[in-house]
């Protein structure tokens, strides 16, 4: 990941002193925001899959890079507006055109997926009850701008029984980021569609 930016800001709204009604409604409000942005993560383009004859483990072979072809093609109809150009790669072959299980010159992580930009916002209000006791209301919005964030990209150049994707889908995003991270429910991961939650908490 080449670039990563994170910022968190908390702002307490200044108190009003213009009457009991205004003070009751307008005081004790605060805002919290978190902004995160990172550049695109690598995509490891795979040409062929084989098996290590020594121990039976799976091996991935990278393709050759075609120098006169652009690495990406832009298409507004596709997720993220672009796709990795399949014509920018070629599979090593023998004299008869049969694929060879050899390492090409493209190397590991030769392409990039999509960046991730997200802004979260929270609005909270404190209700003092007694000394050391209070009630807090909090409304939170995650991915406030509903900016689409794409995760996993099909990286298998050629179709094969063990491939993760056919060549017709090569280079396209097939998941949003929140469904690509694993471990937790996608609802609680970053990179999903805009969502909101409300909490009421008694603290003492």
Q: Which domain holds residue 25?
A: 4-203
Residues 121, 183: Cα–Cα separation, whole Å:
24
Give me the count of residues in the chain: 204
| Model confidence, pTM | 0.76
| Tens of pLDDT, residues 108-155 | 999 999 999 999 999 999 998 888 899 999 999 999 999 889 988 999
Residues 129, 134: Cα–Cα separation, whole Å:
5
Token reading at 93: 């072959």
Helix (H) or strand (E) holding 22: helix 20-26
For residues 17 and 149, the model is more confident at 149
Domain count of the chain? 1
């Amino acid at each position: 990941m080449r670039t990563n930016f994170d910022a968190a800001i908390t702002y307490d709204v200044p108190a009003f002193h213009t009457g009991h009604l205004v003070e009751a409604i307008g005081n004790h409000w605060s805002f919290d925001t978190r902004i995160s942005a990172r550049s695109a993560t690598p995509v490891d383009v795979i040409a062929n899959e084989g098996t290590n004859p020594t121990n039976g483990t799976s091996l991935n072979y990278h393709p050759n890079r075609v120098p006169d072809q652009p690495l990406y093609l832009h298409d507004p109809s596709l997720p993220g507006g672009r796709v990795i150009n399949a014509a920018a790669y070629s599979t090593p072959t023998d004299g008869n055109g049969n694929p060879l299980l050899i390492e090409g010159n493209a190397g590991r992580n030769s392409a990039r997926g999509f960046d991730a930009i997200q802004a979260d916002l929270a609005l909270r209000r404190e209700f003092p009850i007694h000394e050391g006791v209070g009630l807090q209301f909090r409304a939170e919005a995650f991915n406030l701008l509903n900016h689409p964030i794409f995760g996993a990209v099909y990286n298998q150049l050629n179709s094969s029984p063990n491939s993760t994707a056919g060549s017709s889908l090569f280079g396209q995003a097939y998941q949003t980021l929140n469904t690509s991270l694993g471990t937790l429910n996608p609802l609680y991961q970053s990179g999903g569609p805009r969502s909101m939650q409300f909490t009421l908490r008694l603290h003492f």
